Amino acid sequence: MSTNRIAGIAVATALLLGGASLAGLSQGKGVLTQKEVSLDMARAMADASIAKCRSENYHVSVHILDSDGQPITSFRDDGSSEVNYDVSRRKAYTALMYRRPSSEMEKAWATMSPARIIPGTFGVGGGLPIKIGNDTIGAIGVGGAPGSDKDEACAAAGLAKVADELK
């Protein structure tokens, strides 16, 4: 296979895989603008999530991911385990990749081909997409409360903290 053909396949693959990160992208005269979660917004969401869980005596970990799935910020509260830290990242990643709450994925996976399950995802509650309209610009994940519904409630408190900025 020629070097040019291999390069062409690599570019096409990168474009296909990178398409998920183009949410919120608008074009105009060669300039691209993409909506993203700022560090300040990520901190506010993480702080609100931890505060909600602490108010119920849960010690959790929180991850806020950008539209490419990279961490903007992450926190591991006092008493939260390393496992919870990894789980919160995976829940956020799930919500980002599927553009819906991670709690919806366990049922969806039951009818989905195993080939369509994205590696590194975790289909239990606690991950929520961060959206502006229909555009997913990031995700929040919480892990460590006793029950994924409680993790999701803490993640929702984080989103509620910045809801006015996401309109």
Instruction: Return the SS3 of 92.
Output: helix
Q: Round to whole Å and give the CA distance between 38 and 160.
A: 16
For residue 96, give the 3-state DSSP assignment. helix
DSSP state of 99: T
pTM: 0.82
- What type of residue sits at position 137? I
Both structure tokens of 14: 């990168």
Strands, E, within the chain: which ranges? 25-28, 31-34, 61-66, 71-76, 127-132, 135-143
Summarised one tens digit per residue, pLDDT across range 89-137 is 999 999 999 999 999 998 899 898 989 999 999 999 999 999 999 999 9
Tell me the C-alpha to C-alpha distance, in Å, between residue 14 and each of 7, 39, 51, 67, 115.
Answer: 11, 27, 39, 16, 19
Q: Residue 25: its pLDDT value, please?
A: 53
For 96, half-sphere exposure in the C-beta direction (CA atoms, 13 angstrom radius) is 29
Q: Is the pLDDT of residue 15 over 90?
A: no
DSSP structural state of residue 118: P
pLDDT at 61 over 70: yes
Average pLDDT, the chain: 87
What CATH number matches the domain at 36-166, 3.40.50.80, 3.30.450.150, 3.20.20.70, 3.30.70.360? 3.30.450.150
